[in-house]
Structure 1
Amino acid sequence: MFGGRRQSLTALLEEAAPPRNLPLLSADEKHRLQLEKYHRDPVKAAAAVRLNERLRSPNTPSQQRFDDFEDDSGKLKRSRGGPAYQLLQLRILRSWRRILSILGVAGTFVLILQILAAPVDPITDWNQWPQEPRTEPSTRVNRKLSQKLRARDGATSLGDHKSTYGILDVNPDSSVHPIRLLVEEGQKQWDEKVAKQSKTLKEAVDEYKRRYRQNPPKGFDKWWSYVVEHNVPLPDEYDQIYRDLAPFYSVSPGKLNKRLEEASKSLRTFTLKIAGGRVTTQHAYDSKKVESGEQRPQHQVDLIEPIAHHLPDMTIVISVSDTPQSLLSWQHRSELVNRDKQEGFIDDDVDPDAVNGLPWACPISSSLFNAARRSKISQRSGLAHVDKKSFVWDLREYMNICNHPELMEQHGLLIGKNPPMGSPIPVISLSKTALHADILGIPTEQWVEPGPVPVWEDRKNDKVLWRGSNTAMHYDTTVAFGDSQRLRLVNLTNHGAPDSLVTLSPGPNRKSLKETASTVSRSALNEEQMDITFTGRPLQCDKTDGTCEKIARDYPFSNKRITHDEALQFKYVIDVDGNAWSARFNRLLTSGSLIMKATIMPEWYSDRIQPWVHFVPLKMDFTDLYDVVAFFRPSESNPNAEDKMASKIASAGREWASTHWRKEDMTAYMFRLYLEWARLFAANRNSMDFVYSADME
């Protein structure tokens, strides 16, 4: 639209300044110059017209006409230089405008880069866990990994594969198998975590303050002495405790103590009392009618008796149930976690009828909340299409149900549930999900001391093993129980429809993944690779509506028990959640098999173990199972599988269980949790802070 416009006199003057000995401007040129300067202002335009009329008068000397001009009021003024000086002023003014414009653009660009590079605020950003408080990332090592680029929208990249919220989506045009990258990246992250741990009490205190922006609890030095004496590894990795307790600090100690007393009277809890270094237990339920009603209190006593003399007197209430109990709405949790300590305590009593349903534990911008509103959850299958395959990259992010609404239809703990949101209840639970506000403790059932096991090369069975009951939920005709995790696993690995599926080639090769992928019969793979079935008979099902009979008819059950020695001959073993967490994970890790674990339940050790280094994480829908097996398990049709890599992960898992999951490691966790607990319930919390001095070393 500007193509036919005549070039302005100002532009002409900027291209080249005339020498001082050039003739003066003509009256018309001066008229155009004035109009360019005043055309936007009516007052200035009127002055320009009057100036133009004077310039056209033949009686006005030319030098006077150029050097004199009128201001906005119409008064005649004398210029401070000749025409060359006027042109120089114009050029300087224009140059400054260009410089300022460039600086403005550069400043805007730098600001955008700073915003993109800024760390995500775990409080306000809904990509994080619902119960995630504000913590600081470590600065002791370079956290920027060469192949990992994080963005504020949850997107990342690993090689030429893309990831969102912990799931790595396969690029079918890539020639690099994603599992190779996942194993390499996992090892880098683990090595960095181990290298940055505190070596002295002062370092541990400084790291605590940096992460949590508060002093450690009183008795921290005693805890540190226990850690040093028993060689407890990763002394800085206790973020789970702070995540769990963060919402409670906004509630007054008086109110928390009242709720603690109420919780101790429940038929679903037991109470530990520590007084003078002695631990006693009590409960209101009938231990003969509650599963593990006697064992679980004793397990907790056994954990803390070695350090009870270091703990202040306190009362602790622990849930006897497998499953978590407490839920906070996202809005309420945000108010609690983001409270400034100077603002005082919050009146956090919540109307139990205010909101119901798990999506309310997520922000309204989250995938789960919006999926619930639309009543539609999209699911992707990677069984038959290369471009829809994906793997778990960041297990912690994958367990964030707010960002993975598909999990609501894949786990028995979530299917069909519509619980109310409430207020923080100071009860320690044996399990929780990312949505729940329970304080996580340590269950010890099925924990074992590592024993002798066959070496990898001597194991005789290369099928994938799983045995277990059909626990996961209560089964009846009112819920879609066929989608629960254990029924789905058994169904997938024992039936053949749809018959064909696509598996990625482990390579290495120069061709793309889609070019080297194989189409195989699922029935044939199940026969060749899988040894997965239920044991005993259907449990937790409604007999009156025919659900128990249907499960017995549709799913394989075996009465044949596999002995411990027989189980140790298997190279590949699956671990999957039951009603809550899987209690067998410790025992499986110590077996020396390659453990493939599917879970949505964080545990006390989750910050202290590395997926793809100590075990292989699986998606809860198991669409990645066949590709994982194809990558690690050699066969006549798959000679390039990574058997040595499988052996290395299996060995690392067994070593980790032997050095990071000892009784001393569990006691160290509970020791630190109970120090925090004592401060939380103290009438004067500041009096329960730990103050470091050099003579403590």
Structure 2
Amino acid sequence: MSSPLLSGWGRSPPSSPFVTPPAKLRLSRRLACRPRRLAALVALAVVATIVLFHARERPVVQRARQHAERLAQRVGRRRKTDPFLGLQYEEAAGELVYPAVSTPASSPGEPSLDSQPHPIHYLMREAEAAWEAKVSRQSQTLEEAVAEYERRYRQPPPRGFDKWFNFAQSNGVQLLDEYDSIHARLQPFAALRPSVLRERNLILQNVSQWDVGQTFWMHPLTVTIKVSENGSKVEAEGPMRHENHRSDQVMALLEGIAQFLPDLNMTITGHDVPWVVLSGEHKQMHVDAAERGEYIDDVASFKENWDLDGWALACPPDSPIRAAGTLLERLDWQKPDKTSFVGLDHTEAMDVCYHPDKQPLHGFTAWTGPRPGLLFPIFSFSTSSLNSDILLPPLEQYERTPGPDPAWRDKKHDRALWRGSTTGADLTNAHARKYSQRMRLARIPAATGVVTVPLASRDREGVPGPVEEVTALASSFADEYLDVMFTGGPAQCGDEASCAKVAREFEWDGYMSEAEQNEYKYILDVDGNGWSGRFHRLMSTNSLVLKSTLFPEWYSERIQPWLHYVPVKTDYTDLYPILAFFKGAPGDGRGGHDELAGKIALAGKEWAEQNWRWVDMQAYLLRLLLEYARLVNRDNPLASYDYE
């Protein structure tokens, strides 16, 4: 058997071309104000208020008491009237299906399905409540932050946590406790001995004594950044050092925080995409060992499995993709016959393992996938549910300003705009030409047939009313809802024949300035090869951003879908229903909710101003590197890398 260090991802660079997700378990839910539930909530609020009254001098308790008071107020409002009474839907791996695919009979006194309100009303309401709860529960002192860290992760924070906290708090970082993604991404590494992690970092740098004479295939894709001399020296070297500016961007982020770090090396890839893939079994082995506080020999336990393709192997053994057949068979995997929307957790909805039908629909995953290998500590600017890279905040296009930007009410166009290139797929591949995310988006305006959408046309005076279904020609929806075109000419198509096919199929537009784009109320943001570099600029405008992506980012747990932006499924089946809710029916515009769209646009802009500043990215990076430094130095006999 060949060494797993050279197997799968380790054997040679995969010829990765440049496709997303329904159902862990169908959890049927009803929002119904039942008397016994109401009584329980009231009792809970009363008990909580009594308990908190006796400890009211403590700040944490005062905030908790405010929560209890708000809960009691919400219970009171529900008692009077709740327009969402009896709303029936299903949640499936981050998506909301409406109405429920298998709808139970309504209970006595509950409204029937045809009198239920539009689910976007519910999603917006719940998003606002979730964000308010998240913001209000954040730690206010170092002591609270340490206690919350220990509660979440069952271990002490890393050494330097106090310096991180002081930096974050003094710079007004809003969410001081929301870094679960860092823990989740680093946890598998905790199952490897620090000496193994250091050795693999050297392998990435091609300076290891392992297997002299061979160059690890990932080495040409990397740059190593070294922090030394108490942070006073930060330097970079490696094959991609001068290929682009990404290592310079990371070093710029380190300015002002490097002095809080111990000496360390971090090896990053300068490419758009993530690279590290473990099998689902192997990753779970890492996580289980880390939770037990044990180390594993992942080389000895490595096993090849040729019964499944690479992407299926990268998923948990019990995930739906393992039983979803081939790439093309996954296109038709258990598609619901009802309207569905991304729910409140966009990251969950991105998980290809639980949404096999969308795997063929994104250029990054529209192939069989790489063979899983071993865990290497590579830092990348994008990742996915299938990858185990350590995620960095990318700075591509970060400093691009919004440009002239009219207020919402003054924007000239109320169609959804998208302009972009044909990146995001290897267009020499016929499947990618047909199914990848940007190609499918650009074809939507040319679709024929009819489209049926739910319309919130019966709302009255701010109270959601029952939906009606509206059917119209697909061309009518396209003409009134979309302004979608490729720009320039074919790119990333590989050969003249592929370029010619793409050039003939589409109409092409020229360059569109930021000022021209900002005249549109709705702007679509869609993945290219990796993460979207334009998202920061779009979120900084007065336009409503509709985002479709497969890549969770460093801020994903620090932003709230349906409050700050509108998430769009990778298959775009929700695009017209979303626009119908905000714009109204084609032709007469009835049932539109322009004011709610403007509300999200404003909240998104405020979010970017408050939560996507330079110091927010520095706070993320500093905490990430403190955690990483502990992982690679846990065997230091002279010093503890835990916060004490």
Conservation of the 8 A alpha-carbon contact between 2:87 and 2:116: no
Q: 1:341 and 1:475 mapped to 2: Cα distance?
A: 43
Q: Secondary structure at the match of 1:463?
A: strand
Q: Within the alignment, does 1:400 sit opposite 2:351 as a pair?
A: yes
Structure 1's 613 and 416: CA in aligned 2 closer, same or farther, altered over 3 A? same
Name which of structure 1's ranges 645-654 and 562-571 shifts more when overlaid on structure 2: 562-571
Q: 2:467 and 2:117 mapped to 1: Cα distance?
A: 12
For residue 167 of structure 1, the aligned residue among 84, 88, 95 is: 95
Superposed, 1:334-345 pairs within 5 Å as 334-339=284-289, 344-345=294-295
Q: Larger C-alpha radius of gyration, 1 or 2?
A: 1
Q: Secondary structure at the match of 2:265?
A: strand
Q: Within the alignment, does 1:525 sit opposite 2:472 as a pair?
A: no
Which position in structure 1 is the counterpart of 2:23? Answer: none
Cα deviation code 1:643-663 (max 9, x no counterpart) = 110001000000000110000
Structure 1's 557 and 201: CA in aligned 2 closer, same or farther, altered over 3 A? same
Offset, 1:625: 0.6
Output the amino acid matched with 1:357.
Answer: G
Which position in structure 1 is the counterpart of 2:56? Answer: none
Cα deviation code 1:609-641 (max 9, x no counterpart) = 000000000010111111111111257512331
Output the amino acid matched with 1:280.
Answer: V
Offset, 1:425: 0.4
Output the amino acid matched with 2:557.
Answer: D
Superposed, 1:207-606 pairs within 5 Å as 207-265=148-206, 266-276=219-229, 277-285=231-239, 290=243, 292=244, 295-339=245-289, 344-349=294-299, 353-355=304-306, 357-372=310-325, 376-377=329-330, 379=332, 388-393=338-343, 394-448=345-399, 453-477=405-429, 479-492=431-444, 494-497=445-448, 499-509=449-459, 516-544=468-496, 546-558=497-509, 560-606=510-556
Structure 1's 286 and 595: CA in aligned 2 closer, same or farther, altered over 3 A? closer
User: CA RMSD for the aligned pairs?
Assistant: 2.8
Cα deviation code 1:182-202 (max 9, x no counterpart) = 111111111110010000000
Structure 1's 624 and 158: CA in aligned 2 closer, same or farther, altered over 3 A? farther
Q: 2:419 and 2:188 mapped to 1: Cα distance?
A: 39
Superposed, 1:74-85 pairs within 5 Å as none
Name which of structure 1's ranges 236-245 and 332-341 shifts more when overlaid on structure 2: 332-341
Output the amino acid matched with 1:542.
Answer: G
Offset, 1:453: 2.8
Structure 1's 689 and 381: CA in aligned 2 closer, same or farther, altered over 3 A? closer
Superposed, 1:96-107 pairs within 5 Å as none
Q: 1:489 and 1:418 mapped to 2: Cα distance?
A: 23
Which position in structure 2 is the counterpart of 1:13? Answer: none
Q: Secondary structure at the match of 2:560?
A: coil
Conservation of the 8 A alpha-carbon contact between 1:269 and 1:320: yes
Output the amino acid matched with 2:502.
Answer: I
Conservation of the 8 A alpha-carbon contact between 1:270 and 1:281: no
Output the amino acid matched with 2:480.
Answer: E
Q: 2:587 and 2:340 mapped to 1: Cα distance?
A: 26
Q: 1:377 and 1:304 mapped to 2: Cα distance?
A: 43
Q: Secondary structure at the match of 1:517?
A: strand
What TM-score comes out, normalization by structure 1 length?
0.72
Q: 2:610 and 2:546 mapped to 1: Cα distance?
A: 20
Q: 1:554 and 1:685 mapped to 2: Cα distance?
A: 61
Q: Within the alignment, does 1:642 sit opposite 2:583 as a pair?
A: no
Q: 2:160 and 2:631 mapped to 1: Cα distance?
A: 14
Q: Secondary structure at the match of 2:189?
A: helix
Output the amino acid matched with 1:161.
Answer: Y
Q: 2:386 and 2:559 mapped to 1: Cα distance?
A: 21
Q: 1:353 and 1:475 mapped to 2: Cα distance?
A: 30
Q: Secondary structure at the match of 2:202?
A: helix
What TM-score comes out, normalization by structure 2 length?
0.78
Conservation of the 8 A alpha-carbon contact between 2:227 and 2:235: no
Offset, 1:381: 11
Percent of aligned pairs sharing the same letter = 37
Q: 2:544 and 2:324 mapped to 1: Cα distance?
A: 36
Q: 2:133 and 2:416 mapped to 1: Cα distance?
A: 32
Q: 2:133 and 2:582 mapped to 1: Cα distance?
A: 26
Gaps of 5+ in 2: 1-62, 76-84, 100-112, 207-218
Q: 1:452 and 1:512 mapped to 2: Cα distance?
A: 35
Conservation of the 8 A alpha-carbon contact between 2:459 and 2:465: no
Structure 1's 565 and 691: CA in aligned 2 closer, same or farther, altered over 3 A? closer
Which position in structure 2 is the counterpart of 1:15? Answer: none
Offset, 1:480: 4.2
Output the amino acid matched with 1:370.
Answer: A
Conservation of the 8 A alpha-carbon contact between 2:522 and 2:545: yes
Output the amino acid matched with 1:674.
Answer: L
Which position in structure 1 is the counterpart of 2:122? Answer: 181
Conservation of the 8 A alpha-carbon contact between 2:222 and 2:270: yes
Q: Secondary structure at the match of 2:330?
A: coil
Offset, 1:543: 1.6
Q: 2:640 and 2:537 mapped to 1: Cα distance?
A: 38
Conservation of the 8 A alpha-carbon contact between 2:261 and 2:625: yes
Q: Secondary structure at the match of 1:163?
A: strand
Name which of structure 1's ranges 402-411 and 273-282 shifts more when overlaid on structure 2: 273-282
Q: Within the alignment, does 1:199 sit opposite 2:140 as a pair?
A: yes
Cα deviation code 1:100-137 (max 9, x no counterpart) = xxxxxxxxxxxxxxxxxxxxxxxxxxxxxxxxxxxxxx
Q: Within the alignment, does 1:679 sit opposite 2:638 as a pair?
A: no
When the two structures are aligned, how many residues end up with a matched partner? 534
